[in-house]
Amino acid sequence: MVIAFAMAMFVSCGKDLSDVQKIGLAANEPIGVAQDINLKYTDSGRLKANLISPKMLDYSNRDFAFSEFDEGIHLYIYDDENNKSTVISDYAIVYDRTGLIDLQGHVVLATYTNDTLFAEQLYYDQNRQWMSTNQPVTFRTGSDLIHGTGFDSDVHFKEAEVLEINGIITLDE
């Protein structure tokens, strides 16, 4: 009788454990998947930003919610004079709680004034409107092409600084 009871408990626990494991797998899956995104953000009737991406994975079901763009993004940002700046990356992840955006893989930021940053990874803090990296970068501003390791800047490149500069090339205009 004891053996039969133990076997029944073991078999029933095995099924419960299997169900619990399946729930754990489902919790790791995104709560939603969006395809062919073309999201436009307006403020007072003016276009401020346009996000284009082949796919977005929504993990807002997690304790530390985030959205993942595993096939990359193209983001167009418009200022008050309708000047367009462009952000491109192969991968992006947006953390809802902190407002931090992690751009990775062939990151390019190009302003309407033709200042352009090339990096493999770049962090953007939406709350502070500040971008930074500790990875190798190339920054083109005016006629200078600056190579370094690390970059800090406000969103308008007014306080842009290439860190650990290892080369400056002045281009002929």
Q: What is the pLDDT of residue 170?
A: 86
pLDDT score of 20 more than 80? no
Cβ distance 132 to 151 under 8 Å?
yes
- Architecture, CATH, for domain 33-170: Sandwich (2.60)
Q: Where are the domains of the chain?
A: 1-30, 33-170
* pLDDT 10s digits, 102-146: 999 999 999 999 999 999 999 999 889 899 999 999 999 988 999
Asked whether the whole model's pTM tops 0.85, one would answer no
**Average pLDDT score over residue span 41-68:** 93
Cβ distance 110 to 89 under 8 Å?
no
User: 3-state SS string over the chain?
Assistant: CHHHHHHHHHHHHHHHHHHHHHHHHHHHCCCEEEEEEEEEEEECCEEEEEEEEEEEEEECCCCCCEEEECCCEEEEEECCCCCEEEEEECEEEEECCCCEEEEEEEEEEECCCCCEEEEEEEEEECCCCEEEEEEEEEEEECCEEEEEEEEEEECCCCCCEECCEEEEEECCC
Give φ, ψ of 132 to 5 degrees: -160, 160
Handedness of CA 104, 108, 111, 115 (dihedral sign): positive
Q: What is the pLDDT of residue 82?
A: 92
Handedness of CA 120, 42, 84, 167 (dihedral sign): negative
